[in-house]
Amino acid sequence: MCGIVGYVGSQSATPILLDGLERLEYRGYDSAGIAVIASDGSLQVTKTKGKLAALRELVASAEPVGVVGIGHTRWATHGRPSDENAHPHADCHDMVTVAHNGIIENYATLRAELEASGHILRSQTDTEALAHMIEDELRQTDDLAEAVRATLARVTGSYAIAVVSRAHPGTLVGARMNGPLIVGLGKGENFLASDIPAILRHTREIIPLDDGEMVELTADSVRVMTLAGVETRHAPTHVDWDIEAAERGGHSHFFAKEIYEQPDAAHKALMGRILTREPEPDLALDALDGLLASGRLDAVRRVTLLGCGTSIHAAMIARYALERWTRLPVEVAVASEYRYADPIVGPETLCVAITQSGETADTLAATRLARDAGAPVIAVTNTVGGAVTRLADATLYLQAGPEISVAATKTFVTMILTLYLLGAWLGRQRGMLPEAEQRQILHALMDTPELMRRTLESLSEGPNAAALSDAVTLLKDCHSALFVGRGAGFPLAMEGALKLKEISYVHAEGFAAGEMKHGPIALLDEVTPLVAIATASATYEKIVSNIQEARARDAYVIAIATEGDDSIHQHADTIITVPAAPEAFTPLFSVIPLQLLAYHTALARGCNVDQPRNLAKSVTVE
């Protein structure tokens, strides 16, 4: 996986490809390359290990000149990061070149067959086999799209690919199976990309390809077809955000920008859903009307929330509210484990698939299993046209705007908000949530953006800013930290720990506070701090007891507490406060100091905040 961009038109392809790759850097990568069909008919491939700056240096010394090309940023799956393993990959005669995201599961068999027939493969990647297979197919046909289609018929695995050939200098071919790929429509030019920001400078009209589809692009035509060769038609989707929405906006990092965008993202997530009617607000989730009308929700007796990473933590937080408001049992399942666990799932289970990108491979596979078993499926995603939307009976978009940094921030809070909206809606539909209580929930949700703003302001100056600085001074030199909480504070602790280890590389783990004494407390000492979620809650006294247990082991305690809680000062060394709110809604802004704690610790340790090592934004391989 990571980023793909392709161009066919009348402009010089190289600057377009490099610009597109730059806008895909947020996905994480270890090497980069471009391939251009040059004006003299040759295939010019330039690629290198490392960051895009290294590729730009190579290109500057001998820039490929041509109007058709493909580019790629690679995150290693087969073969270590190296120049030879970087994409694009060519065939024996440099006739065909391929960029590929995904994993070819039967590549070892295919590679052995190719080598036995005389092909010379120069890399350790699974991708290179595709170029040689297309080379073989072009001996049988002069149609590049047909050669690609025949090649993919022999492939098992996941892929999004872009292909050009010097024998077909005006053609660009793409295909997808369990990997994101979009077409960008221009005038006298067309584009291919794995994500919208790569081509947004040039067009806002896109066509997301479905799984099992391929596309043949020329400067003046777009032909979409299935892998069986049957032509299909798609209405273009208009992208209503511009390239500035994907820029840093004055912040040093996208991660910081997106933390500070959370009040606005929360407001957008509620827009069109909480209707401010007199005398009280009302809830409308029009996206669910079709599913409601189908009657399939009548059979639902339980809910399964599916996701990975940050999505799981959002699901765990929302679970408490969903069970309380719907009176249905709610299971939170790690998608990568779900489909291998022989789950009990059918029409009685409402499956909610949560994925920021809409393309997370594990979540898609788990969702497909649930759907095939007859479960009604609701997708919760930030990406219009993502693959999960085509598996779902209904989709609730996060409406958060583009999230560029690899580590999630605003999509985490908008996932929780969206799941809360779903829980309140479902509770009313089932007759389990009184109208007065639903209105209280809606009022609390409407208050959230302002509480987020207050939290951010308090962390910029005054006692909270000083406390944040003290905590960072401690954490930047630590080898490990423990995070604890109770109730919704437990998954919030897990999210705080995830953020710290994702971007600062400090080992951190989140635990249910009551479980500390069953083993994890052995890790505590004077150099291993404890970060405690100690906001006002039904279990506040319990979390204070757990903090005291840590203090008795000489652990330094950093507490996230509620404004006005004077008693916490006798239990913690450093205290960061957040506004008071009903317990269920506190995580929506209590996460902000945890995000900033991770951010400033990463800065102090000299880490690459937006592109942490070994990580990618969209995990499109299993």
Whole-number Cα distances in Å, 556 to 324, 506, 559: 35, 16, 10
Alpha-carbon Rg for the chain in angstroms:
25
**Residue 42 backbone phi and psi in degrees, to 5:** -85, 160
Sequence-distant (6+) residues with CB within 8 A of 509 are 480, 482, 483, 497, 520
d(CA 336, CA 342): 12
**Residue 218 backbone phi and psi in degrees, to 5:** -125, 180
d(CA 100, CA 550): 49
Q: Are 154 and 177 in contact (CB under 8 A)?
A: no
Kindly state the tokens that stand for 212.
Answer: 């099992």
Annotation marks residue 517 as catalytic: no
Kindly state the tokens that stand for 8.
Answer: 């066919």
Q: Are 348 and 325 in contact (CB under 8 A)?
A: no
Q: Are 592 and 576 in contact (CB under 8 A)?
A: no
Whole-number Cα distances in Å, 610 to 309, 523, 614: 17, 30, 12
* Exposed/middle/buried for residue 455 (C-beta within 10 Å: 0-12, 13-18, 19+): buried
Catalytic one of 47, 257, 499, 617:
617
- Beta bridge mates, 175: 161, 214
Q: Are 547 and 559 in contact (CB under 8 A)?
A: yes
- Beta bridge mates, 480: 507
Annotation marks residue 617 as catalytic: yes
Going by the DSSP 8-state scheme, the letter that residue 236 receives in this structure is: P
Q: Which helix (H) or strand (E) holds 89?
A: strand 89-90
Query: Helix (H, G, I), strand (E, B), or coil: what is residue 568?
Result: helix
d(CA 570, CA 555): 14
Between vectors from CA 86 to CA 80 and to CA 91, what angle results, nearest 5°?
115
Going by the DSSP 8-state scheme, the letter that residue 386 receives in this structure is: -
Catalytic one of 2, 308, 351, 607:
2
Of 224, 242, 232, which is closest to residue 181 (Cα–Cα)?
224
Whole-number Cα distances in Å, 492 to 262, 451, 533, 594: 16, 17, 8, 9
For residue 141, the tally of other CB atoms under 10 A from its CB is 12
Catalytic residues: 2, 617
